[in-house]
Amino acid sequence: MTSKTSTVSNKPSKDRASLWGGVVFLLFVIAALVFGAIKANGYMQDEQQMPVQVIDFSGDYQHVNITRLERLIRKSQPGSFFALDVNEVFELVEAQPWVYRASVRKKWPNTLKIYLVEQQPVAKWNEDLLLNPYGDTFNADGHDLALPRLYGPGGSEKTALEGYNSMHALLATTAMNIEELSLSERFAWQVQLENGIELNLGRKEFIDRLQRFIDVYPLLAQQEKTVKYIDLRYDTGVAVGWENSNSDTTNKES
C-alpha cells in the first residue's frame, strides 16, 4: 500500500512578510522625506544660513528715508533670501507716504533690488495733505515745502488742480503767482496772489475773468492806494477794494 504525504504551502506567510516589509520601507521613506523637508525649510528660514546682505535702492528720490525703510523691510522679513516674500516687501514699500510707485525683485545670491518712483508734490491740499501732478492726495510731511495752498470739498482735488494749472499758466505772463486757491462747495473760485491781492472769480468763465484782471491791473497799480481785493463776477467790469478803506470802487468797462 502506497502512502501519500501532503505538503502544506507557506507562500501566504511569505507574502504577508513581504507586504509588511514594503509598508515599513514606505513609512521609512515618508519619514525621511518629511524630516528632509523640515530640515530644508528650517535652513531656508534661517537668516544665518542665507541672509539678505544687500538691499539696493535705486531711482530718483529726495524725501524717502532710505535708512528707515530698510529697517522696516528687515524687521518685516527676518528670514533668509529664500524665505523673503517679494510681494509683502512691495506692499510695504508702496505704503510709504513719499513712494508713488515701486518695483521689487531678488537678485541671487543675497541682494534685494528696489526701484523707487517718488511722489512729486505740486500743492498743499486742505492744510493736511499734498497733491501730486495727477491730482492724487498723499499724506506726507510737507510743512517746509514752498507750495501753493489749495482748498476745496472732498473729491474736488483734480478740479482744483486743473483750475490752478490753467490760472498759473495765464499768470506766467505777469510777475504774479498764486499763493492760495479756494474752491467753494458751489465750485466758485477765489484766489489770493503772492502780492496779497484777493480775486473773486465766481463759478463761470473764471479764466476769462482772470484775463480781465490781468488787463485792468496795470491801471489799478498806478493808483496811490494799494489794492486789497478785486471782484470779477461782473459781466463787463470789476469791483475793487482798497487797503485801509471801507469803500469799494466799481470800474465798468465796455
Question: Mean pLDDT, to the nearest integer, of 12-16?
Answer: 68
Distance CA(193)–CA(178), nearest Å, equals 4
Instruction: Give residue limits of the domains in the chain.
Output: 54-118, 123-252
- Amino acid of residue 90: F
- Which residue would you say has higher pLDDT here, 167 or 235? 167
* Pair 180, 191: CB distance under 8 Å: yes
- 144-157: per-residue pLDDT in tens? 999 999 999 999 99
* Pair 102, 114: CB distance under 8 Å: yes
Closest CA to 190 of 150, 249, 133: 150
Q: What is the pLDDT of residue 47?
A: 46
Distance CA(153)–CA(234), nearest Å, equals 25
- 191-228: per-residue pLDDT in tens? 999 999 999 999 999 999 999 999 999 999 999 899 99
Q: Is residue 1 over pLDDT 90?
A: no
Q: Is residue 89 over pLDDT 60?
A: yes
Closest CA to 167 of 158, 153, 178, 155: 178
DSSP character at residue 226: P
Distance CA(83)–CA(44), nearest Å, equals 6
Pick the CATH number of 123-252 from 3.40.800.20, 3.30.1120.10, 3.30.420.10, 3.40.50.11690: 3.40.50.11690
Q: Is residue 91 over pLDDT 90?
A: yes
Pick the CATH number of 54-118 from 3.10.20.310, 3.20.20.70, 2.30.31.70, 1.10.3720.10: 3.10.20.310
pTM, two decimals, is 0.76
All 3 cell numbers of residue 101? 510707485
What ranges make up the beta strands (E) of the chain?
A: 54-60, 99-107, 111-118, 123-125, 129-131, 137-138, 149-151, 178-183, 189-193, 198-202, 227-231, 237-242, 248-252
Q: What is the pLDDT of residue 10?
A: 62
Q: ∠63-64-66 over CA atoms, to 5°?
A: 135
- 19-52: per-residue pLDDT in tens? 766 767 677 667 666 655 555 555 554 445 689 9
Whether 54-118 and 123-252 share one fold: the answer is no
Distance CA(130)–CA(121), nearest Å, equals 6
Q: What is the pLDDT of residue 154?
A: 93
